[in-house]
Chains A and B, each alone.
Chain A
Amino acid sequence: MAAPAEKLDATEARIAALDLPQGGWADAARADALARLRAMGLPARRDEYWRFTRPDLLTQVETPAAAVVVSDEAPVFSEIDALRIVFNDGVFDPEASDPLAMDYLKIDRLAEAKTDIHWAKSLYGQLETNGQTPVARPLGTLNTAFATDGILIHVTGKAPRPINLVYNHRIETSEAILHHVIKLDPGADLTVLETGPAAARFNKVMEVDVADTAAFHHVRAQGRDHERHAATHIFARLGTESTFKSFTLTVNGRLTRNDCVIELTGDDAIAHVAGACVGDGDFHHDDTVFITHDAQRCESRQVFKKVLRNGAVGVFQGKILVKAGAQKTDGYQISQSLLLDGDSQFLAKPELEIYADDVICSHGSTSGAIDEEALFYLRSRGLPSDIATDLLTLAFLAEAVEEIEDEGLRGALVEQLEGWLERHRG
């Protein structure tokens, strides 16, 4: 079905305002993405997966401004020994970055890689393309066509330390489009951290190809800027007995849409996606997850928790698709919100679509307020109301935060949450 003319006009206007990078091995993939984008059109309100989130600020030609937040806090993962790669408003910062070298890793930059990088050429835009069916993800396609930079990582063994992608936001009207491609060979192991708001408007794609028995861990904190806008996509493909675990912490942000599209293609693979977000006021956060089980005995887990107040809006759209033949699938999904007042809203659309007959799949979604009984119990022991509320809020988020295996990383994010709660006491 062709997209409506109005939608295509808006898409052409957006395309006209962007420069298509040229002159490298990715040209063909970019041209292909551009053609696909022109055919499908950018997201619009009537699209099935954009009913709860207005895409306008993510698709409009003009970059919506976002005030820069100057924080006196240490950067989130500053205590973690990692290889830092820094982007300021989407522009690579060689001074602030570590040398792009680590044992078992081959690291390149998309913007620099003019000569043919075979592995990247065969992957760039490939997982994004696969992730377009059955649900179109046009902002991911736009990214493949127009990404100005990104990191290409080929992992051949167990990485000795994590990669930390640091995204600084310094210019009020900046726009950043980054596209990372990560390929893990059989048995390889890598942790990628991401921190920071990146830009006034950020469009990011991360394609992750996890080969048999390889493991990929991802932990990100999307920065503290109140007004930033972000559309991010993870497209991952998992081989036999491989592991993929991703956790996202979002504090603040006017508009965030995080898509995560995972295909379990090898038997006995494990995919966990989790997130915690806290929003106060002008805050709209959308987690859209699509996990496809296309192999036997795979396990997938989605755990999302949202704390919302003063009219903040949280959205969760999570799907588990179990294809015919994906027997012994174990799929779990939970999305919960804690509404700290009557003005806030949580919209959830859990979906299961199952074509195999021997599977365990469960999903649940709840919305609730602070438990008054528990609050009174804590206060009766001398905890002031605000501290008791913070404690209960952290307790609510704990189930999601505990999805992060590494204690150091988990602690760093809990500190962020505690800081936020302290700054946002009612």
Chain B
Amino acid sequence: MLTIKDLHVKLEEEDKEILKGVNLEVEAGKVHAIMGPNGSGKSTLSYVLSGKDGYEVTSGTAMLEGQDLLEMEPEERAAAGLFLAFQYPVEIPGVGNMTFLRTAVNAQRKARGEEEMSAAEFLKVVRARAKELKIDADMLKRPVNVGFSGGEKKRNEILQMAMLEPKMCILDETDSGLDVDAMKLVAEGVNALRNAGRGFLVITHYQRLLDHIRPDVVHIMADGRIVKTGGPELALEVENNGYTDILAEVA
């Protein structure tokens, strides 16, 4: 599904290398988790994959089902099936959540040469999905993320994911700022989307999200590289012993 090979990335503005040769393969139907200390490059990886400005890829490749992601505009990556659930979802005053969702769904369909979703069909689907995530009608009407609590913002991200039905989902610290109940709700939303055709990359600091979204593979990232890969037990090891031991072991 997602194949990253020897990816090197530096900041556009300064001569600072953030990713120093990332190799990663996420298969369809699998959930991979990336854990790592602050500043290890986890969020940068998610931004580079989704096409945010400010980064320069100096070498390496990132392919989504054989398509070269790095050659594409952010909207093309989205239409190709990539989705990033933001660590800090952006507030957009003046743009209604519904308008935004419908424009996004139909823009992707159009880009893929598919028929656009009718207003009635869209409404039906969005209401059903919103209900599952306990997103009320008022939240759908309000401007995108404006005045939303931390939990509401994250649930709104998952709602977008559910509506856009991407092939490859990247969740960037979706657990940050969430209490236990909110995290459960978000995790249920994610789990409902797990299927054989979809890959997930879950970026997190802590093990606790992975109690709810059970990963197949766990990677530890440090200083711009994936330094260790293992099963779910690796996340528990981090939880119990912190990163210091693992980092010392691979150094």
- A and B are interacting partners: yes
Chain A residues engaging chain B, CB cutoff 8 angstroms? 371-374, 376-385, 387-388, 391-392, 394-399
* Closest chain A CB from B107 CB (angstroms): 5
Q: Is B147 an interface residue (CB 8 A)?
A: no
Measured CB to CB, the nearest residue on chain A to B79 is: A382
Q: Which residue of the partner chain, among B83, B104, B143, contacts A383 with CB atoms under 8 Å?
A: B104
Q: How far is A371 from B145 in the complex, measured between Cα atoms in Å? A: 15
Can you list 5 A-B pairs, Cβ within 8 angstroms, ordered by A?
A376-B74, A380-B50, A380-B51, A382-B79, A382-B104
Main secondary structure of the interface of A (DSSP, over half): helix
Q: How many B residues, CB 8 Å from partner?
A: 31
Segment with Cβ contacts to A, from B90-98, B120-128, B206-214: B90-98
B75-A395 in contact (CB<8A): no
CB-CB under 8 A from A379, the residues of chain B are 51, 73-75, 78
A395-B93 in contact (CB<8A): yes
Q: Which residue of the partner chain, among B52, B91, B108, B143, contacts A382 with CB atoms under 8 Å?
A: B108
Q: Which residue of the partner chain, among A373, A376, A391, A395, contacts B103 with CB atoms under 8 Å?
A: A391
CB-CB under 8 A from B107, the residues of chain A are 381-384, 387
Q: Is B243 an interface residue (CB 8 A)?
A: no
* Closest chain B CB from A83 CB (angstroms): 34
B53-A391 in contact (CB<8A): no
Q: How far is A24 from B224 in the complex, measured between Cα atoms in Å? A: 86
User: Which 8 A-B pairs give the minimum distances between C-beta atoms?
Assistant: A395-B94, A382-B78, A382-B108, A398-B94, A379-B74, A377-B90, A381-B104, A395-B95
CB-CB under 8 A from B99, the residues of chain A are 391
Q: How far is A391 from B111 in the complex, measured between Cα atoms in Å? A: 18
Q: How far is A397 from B104 in the complex, measured between Cα atoms in Å? A: 21
Q: Which residue of the partner chain, among B52, B83, B86, B92, contacts A392 with CB atoms under 8 Å?
A: B92
CB-CB under 8 A from B100, the residues of chain A are 378, 381, 391
* Closest chain A CB from B180 CB (angstroms): 27
Q: Is B89 an interface residue (CB 8 A)?
A: yes
Kindly identify, within residues 33 to 84 of chain B, every residue whose CB is under 8 Å from any CB belonging to chain A. 50-53, 73-75, 77-79, 83-84
Since A380-B50, A380-B83, A385-B75 are in contact, a sample of 13 more A-B pairs with Cβ atoms closer than 8 Å, ordered by chain A residue number, is A376-B51, A376-B53, A377-B86, A377-B89, A378-B92, A378-B100, A379-B73, A382-B75, A382-B79, A383-B75, A384-B75, A394-B94, A395-B95
Q: How far is A387 from B105 in the complex, measured between Cα atoms in Å? A: 13
* Closest chain B CB from A241 CB (angstroms): 32
